[in-house]
Every structure is written in C-alpha cells, then in structure tokens.
Chain A
Amino acid sequence: MFKRMSALLLVGATVMTMAGCGSGGTTSASQAGPGGGDDKITMGFSQVGAESGWRTANTKSVQESAESAGIDLKFSDAQQKQENQIKAIRSFIQQKVDVIAFSPVVESGWDTVLKEAKNAKIPVILTDRAVDSQDTSLYKTFLGSDFVEEGKKAGQWLVEEYKDSTDTVNIVELQGTTGSAPANDRKAGFAEVIGADPKFKVIASQTGDFTRAKGKEVMEAFLKSNPDIDVLYAHNDDMGLGAIEAIEGAGKVPGKDIKIITVDAVKDGMQALADGKINYIVECSPLLGPQLMDLAQKVVKGEQVPARVVTEETTFTQEQAKEALPTRQY
C-alpha cells in the first residue's frame, strides 16, 4: 500500500508544478473561411489555441489584417495539440491553398508534414514560434519576436537608469515557465547586458510560471528573504502585476522603492505602467498580422524574403504608456 502510495506521490509531486503558460485545452471552435475567388490569395493558418489574451490578440490581428489585405483566410485552432495542427496542415494541402502559415504547438516533429507541403509546392511561413527542423528549405521564413532581444532591451534600460550610480543594484528576477523559450531567452539577453557591470547583482531568480498568482507568491518570499531589493525584472506583465500586490502588501511603493521592468505590454500591464507602478515594459507584440500578410503576398509572388523576420516591437516608458493606452487593442 505504502509503496503504491509513494509511487503515486512521486508522480504527483513531479506533475503538480509543471503548470505551463500554454497548458490546458481550449474552447475556441475552428472556423473555415468561405471559398475565395481565383485571383485571391488563400492562406491556411493554424493557430496554437486561445490560451491567453496575448494569443487571442494574435488571432484577431491575423484575421483582421487578412480581411483588409484581401486574403482569403482559412483559420484553424489546434487547441494546443500537434496532431490537430498536422491534420489542419494536411487539409490545407488538400484544399490547395496558396500559402500556409502556422504557430507550431511544439518545436519538433514537423518534417513529414512540411515535406508534404513542399512537394505540393505550397510555401510555409512560421509565426511566433520556431521549429527545430534541420532542413530549413521546408519553410520560407519565420516571423516572430526575438526573446533574447527583449531581454537585452530590458537590461539596457536598467543600465541607462543606473548609469550615474555606483552603488550595488540588487535585482530579483521572476522567470517564466522553466525551460520555455521565452523564459530562457529573456533571462539570457538580460544577463548578457547587465553582466558587463559588476554593480548589477541578481540576488534571487525563481520561476513564477507566467502567472499572477505565482508571481505574487514568489515575490512575497523574495521580500522576506531579501530585505534590500532595488529592481524587479519579470518575464511577463502578469507576474509583474502579481508582484506589485506583494510589494504593496509589504508597505513599499512599486515603481519607486522597487523599480519594475516587465515584458509583453498587455493592457493590464500598460495600465499599471501608466499608473506609475511599473517603470518600463518591453513589448512582445502579438500584432504580427500585417507583417504576415505582407510576407504571404511576397512569398506567393515568388519574391525573396529573409529567413528570419522579427516582429515590429517597441518599448514603453510611463509617459509613452499614457499616450498609447487609449488605443491599445489588447
């Protein structure tokens, strides 16, 4: 009995903290666009799912810009499952769409289906997430954010902010889901920039699983074990928002006593930035629709496109946030 129990518990303990930012089933229904005319470009787009506000904004951007670019979009929601995505791509191939775009649910296992697309002479564009395929001829281009660059931008602001100071700057970091690409890259980019100056010290770094609740919980513990925190760097807005509550609960003023840098720029984060509770946000924009349609048109015409296109992204200070907030789409 006890052997069985401990076995069960081990499994439980391993599984219970594996909460990811892209977990859980989704509810969105697949929808296929109406059949287009012959001169119109038809694009098959397979989305990961609808797991976050960011993803929903991403979907919306693709759908809206397809409409304004006059591209007939066949949209399919993979609900976080690779098999659904492979099915969707195969059906796009059968329907003889002009171009296929998709955000891969996972990195590996795409070679077979991408070869089928290549044999059918349908160009493929990757959006937002990359695949680890050795054969780069399987897709035309990868359009998405550069997470390392985002981390660097965060670090650069910090270096600029403290350029006149010689005191040690104590930094705590809230990482994204352990092992995920955004978490690894945002950490690496940030570390690279601040590593040049020994006054910057990351005194604690822990995962907050990209969620508000974990961000708050971890920050509470940081505040108690490290009495002297100058800067918080959170890998997304949500963890930062959770941490703000923890900082306020500790009787400190977020944005003043502890400076806060986050990545993403979702609406709640921008609001906190405009309110002065966050100091700086590096944008990770889901609005890659217009760029995607532009690339699609070029690819269909047979024009050369760069193998890697970085999403047009910016950064926000508190003043910029106040201006941008009223027109923020997500």
Chain B
Amino acid sequence: MNARERGPRVSAAAVIRHRLFWPAAVLVLLLLANVFFTPGFLSVELKDGHLYGSLIDIARFGAPLILVAIGMTLVIATGGIDLSVGSVVAISGALSCLWITGLEDQQSVTGVLTAVGVALGLALFLGLCNGVLVAGIGIQPIIATLILMVAGRGLAQLITDGQILTVNSAPYKLIGGGYWLTLPFGVLIVLAVLGITAFLTRRMALGLLIESVGGNAVASRLAGIRSRGLIVAVYAFCALCAGIAGLMISSNVSSADGNNAGLWIELDAILAVVIGGTSLAGGRFSLGGTVLGALVIQTLTTTIYSIGIPPETTLLFKALVVTAVCLLQSPAFREKALNRRRRRPQAAPASADPKVKVPA
C-alpha cells in the first residue's frame, strides 16, 4: 500500500491505489446489491426501437446531474463553488417551456431551437454575472453564487407565474426524454459535452491553466495567466451546463416546475465532484471521477427505489453510503485503518495524496 514506488506494470496494488478505485468499487457494489434484489437488473433489452433497462435509466436520469457536475468540477478546480446551478436549471427549463407555449405550432423544430437558444443564452448570461461578481468584483464565490441561488428560483417562478407549465412538443421532448440511434438523447448530449470538455482541458493547456489558477491565483497571474478571464469563463461554462441540464429535466416530463426543478442539485453536484476526487480547495480536478461520482449518486437513488427502502429511512441510508464512500476515498482514513491492523514503521503523512499529473 505504500506509494513509494511506481512500476510500469499494472499490479493489483496499483489498481487499488488508483484514485478512482474506491468510488468505482462502491458503484460496482451498489449494482451487485441491485442484482441480488432484482435479478434482471443488469439486463438491457430493445423496446420500441430503443434500449430499455435499469442501467439505461441510471444513465438517463443521471445525465442532468453529470452535466451540472462537469461544470461544477471546473469551477471547483479554480477554488470556487457555484451554488446557483439549481436555480439556473429551473430558469432555463421555465424559459424554454414558456417560449414553446407561446409558439403557434409547438411541433416546429425552429421554434424549439429558438426556445433552446434563448434559454441557454440566459443561462450563459447568468453564468457571466456570477463570473464577474467573483473575478471582477472579488466577492467570495459562495456568496456571489448564493445571490443567484436564492433570487434565481424567484426568477423561475416569475417566468412560470408560480404554475407548472406543460408543453406538448415532440422536438422538445427529444432533448431529455427521447432516443437517437437507440440511445437516450440526453446521454448523447452528456457524452458530447464531456468529450469537448475533456479535449479542451486535457489535450489543450486549458486544464493546466485552470488548475494553476485554482492552486494559486496570484502566482498564476504573475506567471502571465489571465486568471480573471479564466474564472469568468468557467462560471459561464458551469451555468451553460446547468442550462442544458434544465432543458433535459423539463423536457423529460414535458413541463417546467419553477419551484422544484433542480432543487438541491447543486449539493448533489458538489457531492459528485468530491466523490470523484476533486479537491474542494481547488488546484486539481478529475472529470472521469466526477462522472463516476454522479453515477454513484444516481445508482444509489435508483437502488433505494428498487430494493424498497422505506421513504422515512431513505435519507439515513443515503447518508451512510455517502459517508462510507468519502471515508474510503480518504487516504488519511485508510492509512489509519490499516495502521491499526499492521503497524507500519513509516506511515505516509496525511498529505501524501499526490497532485495529479496533468498530461500537457
């Protein structure tokens, strides 16, 4: 277990040492638990020309959370946090549904595209506002985004007039509830956003720059990185992701609910990011870990429904699993737990967690 040597060969120890081993193990464990209670849990069949099964459900219902969490990852990597994503989810869903209900023909593809454009435009604008408050004016991220978190839900309710807006539009339905090439369209959107983000941050220098700003904003600026612009950009990107997630959530049920859409999704997203091994202090991030974290959360939710945990104990069950994941994730905790069993002469310090190597 000692991280002293790193050989090129893939040994069992190396697999266990991998940052994402524990969240992945919990995910597999959850899935196995489901198979135990529901034997056909892992089966995926073709129904009405699209894939159908519990695994598909997890991906489909988890898609908005994964999107929000991807945006959140980059914000957290700069040492910030965005609490307003839930409100942006509600606003974007509300605005697009309002736009569609105003259309003469709700089935018109151009009309729906305009609605999507308007909603995402507003989301982007709100993200820019967050970014300017944080990077331009220098308000602490948690405060700056808290403003939109509270006010934004009010804005969403203003748009929907406190009602649930119902739309009946086939093109809009596709975004979150439809299928393309047998796959849920929402999952394809997530894959696209994930692909683009991974390319920009891991194949280009952008990821390194973001981590540098998160590690030390002042030093980065002195080194010639425009930290201000970068920070504004990540908040805008995060809001854009939340906007797309909002479209998915409202499209999935063909209605916009200003009160409940995306409620508390910011907490789930932060949780997903943390389970994925991204440090809340900023300076390092892992997109793969975030996706894994979001999948763990969604699988946990699905597990609760399928194995029939009574609603009164749901929260406790969730809390226990999440605590277990977080403890397993902590090298300090693992070190302590192991030390108790076999005393090691040279225990690694708690901060032995190495900075992630970034392929430039």
Contacts and interface: CB of A to CB of B under 8 A. Distances in A.
A242 interface: yes
B323 A27 contact: no
A213 B162 contact: no
B264 A16 contact: yes
A221 B306 contact: yes
Given A224-B41, A225-B37, A251-B47, A2 B326 contact: yes
Nearest to B309: A206
A213 B164 contact: no
Contacts of A17: 264, 314-315, 318
B326 A24 contact: no
A19 B308 contact: no
A25 interface: yes
B154 A250 contact: no
A268 interface: yes
Interface string B320-332: 0011001101101
B271 interface: yes
A30 interface: no
A238 B308 CA distance: 22
Interface in B166-183: 166, 177
A220 B61 contact: yes
Contact of A212 (B257, B302, B306): B257
A216 interface: yes
A206 B267 contact: no
Nearest to A53: B163
A175 interface: yes
A224 B311 contact: no
A32 interface: no
B319 A14 contact: yes
A253 to B, nearest CB: 13
Interface stretch (B19-27, B48-56, B337-345): B48-56
A16 B260 contact: no
A300 B41 CA distance: 63
Interface string A45-87: 0000011110110000000000000000000000000000000
Contacts of A18: 264, 315
B264 A19 contact: yes
Interface residues of A, number: 55
A51 B154 CA distance: 11
Contacts of B268: 12, 16
B311 A24 contact: no
Contact of B162 (A9, A51, A179): A51
B162 A212 contact: no
Given A9-B271, A9-B274, A238-B164, A24 B157 contact: yes
Contacts of A28: 162
B144 interface: no
Contact of B311 (A19, A175, A220): A175
Interface in B255-288: 255, 257-261, 263-264, 267-268, 270-271, 274, 279-281
Contact of B253 (A8, A207, A209, A213): A213
B158 interface: yes
Most central of B150, B158, B311, B329 by chain A CB within 10 Å: B311
Interface in A1-55: 1-2, 5-6, 8-10, 12-19, 21, 23-28, 50-53, 55
Contact of B260 (A205, A209, A225): A209
Given A25-B153, A213-B260, A221-B57, 20 more contacts: A9-B323, A13-B315, A16-B267, A16-B268, A17-B314, A17-B315, A18-B315, A19-B260, A19-B263, A25-B150, A25-B154, A25-B157, A51-B162, A56-B161, A175-B311, A213-B252, A245-B177, A249-B52, A249-B177, A268-B166
Interface of B: 37-38, 40-41, 47-48, 52-54, 57, 61, 150, 153-154, 157-158, 161-164, 166, 177, 249, 252-255, 257-261, 263-264, 267-268, 270-271, 274, 279-281, 301-302, 304-308, 310-312, 314-315, 318-319, 322-323, 326-327, 329-330, 332-333
